[in-house]
């Protein structure tokens, strides 16, 4: 009996480890190094740890279930204990103390009031609280770690001020991975209650402002409008007599998201735990771009991403020092063209700007009960008031903010609808017109963030000497929409291997389903390879401008942190090669369909070469880059290697020959010359493959050493052209028209693969030839790559090696 109890005890010991998990201690208990508190549902753990490569012992809170050490709060940030003698307890004064070698205090709370019955408890929110139990159930926190933030903002934490108690919750970055002691990057809210300034969220580097979010307008911060969809968390700003704080809460508790201040990158990173990858991913970060740097353009200037220069003066203003301004140091800012006289206030008026982040509100005065009209009158009556705006834009707008002195840290925010009214002397308003003039600042919608991250501009902001203008050209509308990383993570089940469709030019492709049910294909740039960023940029810029029913449609893209993703319409029937080279599927693809596919590809290519404004050479046409929609319509995809040929240029040259062996024309492989005729060559190869059901890259003729093109040409010379037709099609019934189409396709295919580029037809001729019975076709010359063994006689040794090595592999890229 006794011994069985002993075994149960041993078993429990083995199961639960040294200490049974508890979530709290009372004044008689303590936690020594090695022991921990675990919150009720096991979300967080509190105890001793050593960060990174540090040997020092710190006391803190971390995520228990996350396998990567994720410390969210540290008590003794700058005072590590250098042995394992640390002891944490509630002392006789009711304070929490951390002792070293049983005597020196390393860290402690400083409560003014002593608790009667205190208890230190770790909650599932990550909050470590000191509670007093009064009359059994009514509990109040005497102290809580959430009021003393470190570098991590957990859901439910507050960033900002308690105006009643007069304390401010500021976040500060760790110095580095090994040292939780505060670096010089801090994040918090600035508000001057006496001056009634409107609060704003800032990031400081040392004493200097580094980034500013922009005043809260009821829907979002004016520097980052809320139009962006967010599936991870709700955020809110509470502003009343007692408190001003920013907070956020998760929409789905199992999708963990935190905000972390990072000293290395000088950013606030929004991190999301991605279970499938067992890692944190950056979902979002600020500052995001050049214009996010505080005050880049000085007073009364504003920043435009993609602008040349990035800084412009507000209308009615000019650079304070022209020389310095044009040396791209904009910090001196802008001054008025005409000084305000302010003698007769009725001579002044306001210019309305839309699409700007509101100026720094440190120099503001706010009144929540005024309306816009009262706000204007108030601003007009004080000569130093330079601008005003609604403080809340919900329900048509309410409240008033007025700015005094220079307007600081303004930038364009394309999708912002908020209006800012800037004071102007009568002379700047024009004599005859109304006193208020609307100036709308619009940049390319949505695409802008993509563009800036790519570091170059798709959309050209045509800002002339008149620096703000209403722009709404067609160019803007064609830009791809930008998806949020989380949308994609959600749609693809976290890039699960189950959803992997294959491998594109620069990374894996996943299938996904958006919340509205639309199916998508997501191309993910391989992070590890470090390659392909150029191809990615290329694809975005090119395909965003292309629209044709035989080209795959880009729905949008997503660039966040290291992730670079392209989102396409999903093609349920995958790629052409999966059909024609597959024994079973090939039977399903009758001649009629094949002919339609050939004609469809030809039209798509014709569009690229001639009809689109850009004159595009695809450079990597092959059957695996032709996708099929649910009606088996072909769509050309994968523009990663495509090149535009400006103007009348018909030929280009490159030192880096990339493409797929078997589809590349000889002049391209050996001399790096590409032109529309090299695409025609690839097209011809595909036509022969579609007709024959054989891969040009792994063709194994029964006799000789003929390649697929050589074989086709030989059959034609011998009058046995029909023998090239796929065996799956030979048995089925064909009428005369079918047979003529087959012969015509092979004939056109052979014209396209002729050795000399000049002999090959253009795509416009190809389209005509394919569709006309009466057209008499010229006889094709001997194709390139007639025989496998012919290469040595013609081409330099080095090229030969490349050819032989890559033969037989359909996605082998040749680098020169
Ligand atoms: C630490 O102090 C407590 C009482 O103050 C004592 O009970 C305990 O034995 C001491 N531990 C060590 C390691 O000295
Ligand atoms: C800061 O961010 C960079 C880039 O995302 C990351 O590599 C680094 O580990 C982060 N540092 C800390 C201390 O979290
Ligand atoms: C929360 O996310 C998990 C994991 O993605 C999912 O399984 C669950 O259905 C979600 N719950 C809700 C309420 O959306
Ligand atoms: C104008 O407003 C500023 C800032 O609120 C204030 O200091 C100043 O006294 C006002 N001037 C007048 C004439 O009301």
Tell whether ligand 4 has an atom less than 6 A from the beta carbon of residue 195: no
Residue range 287-312, pLDDT digits in tens? 888 888 999 999 999 998 766 678 99
Measured in angstroms, how far is the CA atom of residue 341 from the centroid of ligand 4? 16
Least confident of 425-439, 567-581, 697-711: 425-439
Residues 361 and 499 in one domain: no
Q: Are residues 630 and 738 in the same domain?
A: yes
Top pLDDT among 167 and 173 is at 173
Sheet holding 96-100, edge to edge: 30-32, 87-90, 96-100, 104-108
Residue 8 belongs to some domain of the structure = no
Ligand 4 centroid, distance to 384 Cα (angstroms)? 7
Asked if the model's pLDDT at residue 443 lies above 50, the reply is no
Give the whole-angstrom CA distance, residue 323 versus residue 790: 66
The strand pairing partners of 632, in sequence order, are none
**Protein residue with least CA distance to atom 11, ligand 3:** 252
| CA-wise closest residue to 554 among 587, 580, 585, 521 | 521
Q: 252 CB under 6 A from ligand 3?
A: yes
308 within some domain: yes
The count of C-alpha atoms lying within 13 angstroms of the C-alpha of 153, restricted to the half-sphere facing its C-beta, is: 28
Share of the chain above pLDDT 70, in %: 78
758 alpha carbon to ligand 3 midpoint, in Å? 60
Residues 521 and 613 in one domain: no
Cis bond upstream, residue 345 (ω within 30): no
Q: Is the CB of 174 under 6 A from ligand 2?
A: yes
To the nearest 10°, report the CA torsion of 465, 468, 474, 476. 110
Q: From ligand 1's centre to the CA of 775, what distance in Å?
A: 103
Assign residue 399 a region (left: φ > 0; alpha: ψ between -120 and 50; beta: otherwise): left
φ, ψ of residue 41 in degrees (nearest 5): -95, 10
Kindly give, in sequence order, each residue whose CB lies less than 8 Å from that of residue 675, ignoring residues fewer than 6 positions away.
617, 645, 650, 651, 652, 757
How confident is residue 657, by pLDDT bands cut at 50, 70 and 90? low
Note whether 666 and 767 are same-domain residues: yes
Each residue of 39-95: pLDDT tens digit? 999 999 999 999 999 999 999 999 999 999 999 999 999 999 999 999 999 988 889
3 occurs within a structural domain: no
The secondary element (H helix, E strand) that includes residue 138 is strand 138-144
Ligand 3 closest atom vs CA 253: 1
CB of 698 closer than 6 angstroms to any ligand 4 atom: no
Which ligand is in closest contact with the Cα of 563? 2
In a domain, 438, yes or no: no
Average pLDDT, the chain: 80
Q: Are residues 552 and 664 in the same domain?
A: no
Nearest-CA neighbor of 179 among 51, 72, 49? 51
Ligand 2 atom nearest residue 176's Cα: 13
Best CA proximity match to 745, nearest among 729, 721, 727 = 721
- Taking 60 as the threshold, does the pLDDT of residue 474 lie above it? no
User: One of 620, 638, 679, 726 is an active-site residue; which one?
Assistant: 620
* Ligand 4 binding pocket includes 404 (Cβ within 6 Å): yes
- Regarding the beta carbon of 93 and ligand 4, being less than 6 Å apart is answered no
Q: Look at the block and give the residue holding tokens 């389209």.
A: 767
**Distance (Å) from CA 101 to ligand 1 centroid:** 9
Place of tokens 């969220």: 201
Q: Which ligand is nearest to the CA of 231?
A: 3
Tell me, what's the pLDDT at 138?
52
* Opening angle at CA 766, ends 763 and 767, nearest 5: 90
Q: What is the pLDDT of residue 276?
A: 83
- Closest ligand by atom to 274 CA: 3
Residues 748 and 615 in one domain: yes
Predicted local confidence at residue 172, as pLDDT: 97
Strands 311-313 and 317-319: unpaired
pLDDT of residue 734: 67
Residue 382 Cβ contacting ligand 4 at under 6 Å: yes
Ligand index nearest the alpha carbon of residue 257: 3
Nearest to 726 by CA among 565, 582, 597: 582
Residues 611 and 627 placed together within one structural domain of the fold: yes
Contacts 24+ apart (CB under 8 A), 385-389: 385/423, 386/422, 386/423, 387/350, 387/359, 387/420, 387/421, 387/422, 387/423, 388/350, 388/421, 389/358, 389/418, 389/419, 389/420, 389/421
**Candidate ranges 71-75, 425-429, 524-528, 602-606; pick with highest mean pLDDT:** 71-75
Which ligand 3 atom lies nearest to the CA of residue 494? 5
Provide mean pLDDT across the span 231-255: 87
What is the reported pLDDT for 431?
Answer: 46
Domain boundary among 267, 288, 309: 288
User: Angle at CA 433, nearest 5°, toward 428 and 436?
Assistant: 65
Indicate whether 9 pLDDT > 80: no
Say yes or no: 628 and 772 in one domain: yes
Residue 816 to residue 808: CA distance in whole angstroms: 19
Q: How many A from CA of 263 to the centre of ligand 2?
A: 8
The structure tokens listed for 511 are 């299938």
Residues linked to residue 627 through DSSP beta bridges, in sequence order? 575, 635
CATH (domain of 611): 1.10.510.10
DSSP 525-539: --TTT---HHHHHHH
Q: How far apart are the first and last CA of the chain?
A: 81
Please check whether residue 349 is in contact with residue 424, taking contact to mean a CB–CB distance below 8 angstroms. Answer: yes
Please state whether beta strands 673-675 and 71-74 pair in parallel, antiparallel, or not at all (unpaired): unpaired
For ligand 2, the distance from its centroid to the CA atom of residue 252, given in whole angstroms, is 25
Choose which residue among 404, 405, 423 to substitute to test ligand 4 binding: the one with the highest number of ligand atoms within 8 A of its C-beta.
404
User: For 174-209, what is each residue's pLDDT tens digit?
Assistant: 999 999 999 999 999 988 877 788 889 999 999 999
pLDDT, residue 467, reads 27
Could you tell me if 402 and 362 are in contact, meaning their C-beta atoms sit under 8 angstroms apart? no
Strand partners, 733: none
Pair 611, 708 in one domain: yes
CB 378 less than 6 A from any atom of ligand 4:
no
Dihedral of alpha carbons 483, 484, 485, 486, sign: negative
Is 620 known to be catalytic? yes
User: What's the average model confidence in pLDDT over 566-579?
Assistant: 88
Which of the listed residues 343, 370, 383, 384 should we mutate to test ligand 4's pocket, taking the one with most ligand atoms within 8 A of CB? Answer: 384
> CA 210 from chain center: how many Å?
22
Within-domain flag for 230 = yes
Distance CA 160, CA 2 (A): 59
434, part of any domain:
no
116: pLDDT strictly greater than 80? no
pLDDT (tens digit per residue) in 608-629: 888 766 678 888 889 988 999 9
The CA distance from 610 to 718, in Å, is 36
| pLDDT value, residue 672 | 75
Closest approach atom of ligand 4 to CA 384: 1
The domain in which residue 272 lies consists of 155-288
Do residue 140 and residue 238 come from a single domain? no
Of 148, 163, 178, which marks where a domain is finished? 148
Choosing from 233, 261, 288, the residue where a domain stops is 288
Element (H, E) at 11: helix 2-16
| For residues 12-20, average pLDDT | 46
What single-letter DSSP state applies at residue 356?
B
* pLDDT over 60 at 450, yes or no: no
DSSP 608: I
User: How many angstroms does the Cα of residue 380 sit away from the middle of ligand 4?
Assistant: 11
């Amino acid at each position: 009996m006794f011994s069985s109890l002993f075994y149960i005890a041993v078993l429990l010991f083995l199961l639960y480890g040294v200490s049974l998990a508890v979530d709290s201690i009372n004044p008689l208990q303590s936690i020594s190094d090695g022991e921990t508190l675990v919150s009720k549902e096991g979300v967080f753990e509190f105890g001793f740890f050593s960060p990174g490569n540090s040997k020092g012992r710190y006391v803190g809170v971390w995520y228990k279930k996350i396998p990567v050490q994720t410390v969210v709060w540290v008590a003794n940030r700058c005072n590590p204990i250098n042995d394992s003698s640390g002891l944490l307890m509630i002392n006789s004064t009711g304070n929490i103390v951390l002792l070293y070698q049983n005597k020196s205090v390393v860290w402690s709370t400083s409560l003014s009031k002593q608790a009667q019955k205190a208890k230190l408890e770790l909650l599932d929110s990550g909050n470590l609280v000191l509670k007093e139990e009064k009359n059994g159930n009514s509990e109040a926190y005497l102290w809580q770690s959430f009021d003393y933030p470190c570098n991590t903002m957990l859901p439910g934490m507050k960033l900002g001020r308690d105006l009643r108690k007069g304390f401010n919750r500021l976040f500060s970055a760790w110095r580095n991975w090994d040292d939780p002691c505060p670096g010089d990057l801090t994040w918090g809210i600035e508000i001057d209650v006496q001056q009634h300034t409107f609060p704003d969220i800032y990031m400081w580097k040392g004493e200097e402002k580094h980034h500013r979010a922009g005043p809260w307008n009821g829907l979002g911060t004016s520097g980052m409008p809320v139009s962006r969809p967010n599936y991870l968390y709700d955020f809110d700003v509470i502003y009343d007599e007692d408190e001003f704080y920013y907070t956020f809460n998760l929409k789905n508790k199992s999708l963990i998201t935190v905000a972390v201040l990072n000293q290395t990158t000088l950013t606030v990173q929004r991190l999301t735990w991605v279970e499938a990858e067992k890692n944190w991913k950056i979902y979002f970060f600020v500052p995001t771009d050049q214009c996010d740097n505080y005050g880049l353009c000085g007073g009364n200037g504003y920043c435009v991403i993609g602008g040349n220069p990035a800084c412009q003066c507000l209308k009615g203003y000019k650079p304070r020092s022209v020389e310095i301004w044009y040396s791209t140091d904009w910090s001196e800012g802008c001054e008025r063209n005409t000084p305000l006289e302010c003698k007769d206030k009725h001579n002044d008026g306001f210019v309305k700007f839309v699409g700007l982040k509101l100026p720094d509100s440190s120099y503001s005065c706010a009144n929540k009960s005024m309306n816009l009209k009262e706000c204007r009158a108030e601003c007009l009556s004080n000569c130093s008031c330079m601008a005003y705006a609604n403080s809340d834009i919900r329900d048509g707008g309410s409240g008033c903010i007025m700015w005094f002195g220079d307007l600081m840290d303004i930038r364009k925010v394309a999708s912002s609808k908020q209006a800012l009214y800037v004071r102007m002397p009568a002379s700047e308003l024009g004599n005859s017109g109304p006193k208020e003039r609307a100036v709308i600042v619009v940049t390319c919608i949505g695409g802008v963030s993509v563009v800036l991250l790519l570091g170059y501009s798709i959309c050209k902001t045509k800002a002339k000497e008149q620096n703000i203008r209403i722009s709404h050209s067609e160019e803007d509308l064609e830009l791809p929409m930008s998806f949020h990383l989380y949308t994609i993570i959600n749609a693809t089940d976290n890039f699960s291997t189950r959803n992997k469709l294959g491998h594109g030019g620069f990374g894996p492709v996943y299938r996904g389903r958006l919340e509205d049910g639309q199916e998508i294909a997501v191309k993910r740039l391989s992070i590890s390879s470090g390659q392909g960023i150029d191809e990615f940029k290329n694809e975005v810029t090119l395909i965003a401008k292309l629209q044709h029913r035989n080209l795959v449609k880009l729905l949008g893209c997503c660039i966040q942190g290291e992730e670079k993703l392209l989102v396409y319409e999903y093609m349920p029937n995958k790629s052409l090669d999966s059909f024609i080279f597959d024994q079973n599927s090939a039977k399903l693809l009758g001649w009629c369909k094949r002919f339609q596919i050939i004609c469809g590809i030809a039209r798509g290519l014709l569009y690229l070469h001639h009809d689109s404004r850009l004159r595009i050479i695809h450079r990597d046409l092959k059957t695996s880059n032709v996708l099929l929609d649910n009606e088996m319509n072909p769509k050309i995809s994968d523009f990663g290697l495509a090149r535009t040929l400006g103007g009348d240029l018909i030929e280009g040259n490159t030192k880096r020959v990339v493409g797929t062996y078997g589809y590349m024309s000889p002049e391209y492989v050996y001399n790096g010359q590409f032109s529309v005729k090299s695409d025609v060559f690839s097209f011809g190869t595909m036509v022969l493959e579609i007709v024959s059901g054989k891969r040009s890259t792994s063709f194994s003729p029964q006799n000789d050493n003929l390649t697929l093109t050589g074989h086709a040409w030989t059959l034609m010379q011998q009058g046995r052209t029909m023998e090239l037709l796929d065996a799956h099609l030979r048995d089925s019934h064909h009428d005369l028209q079918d047979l003529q189409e087959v012969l015509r396709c092979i004939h056109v295919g052979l014209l396209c693969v002729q050795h000399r580029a000049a002999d090959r037809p253009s795509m416009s001729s190809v389209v005509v030839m394919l569709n006309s019975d009466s057209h008499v076709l010229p006889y094709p010359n001997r194709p390139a790559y007639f025989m496998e063994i012919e290469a040595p006689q013609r081409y330099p040794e080095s090229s030969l090696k490349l050819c032989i090595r890559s033969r037989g592999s359909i996605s082998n890229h040749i680098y020169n």
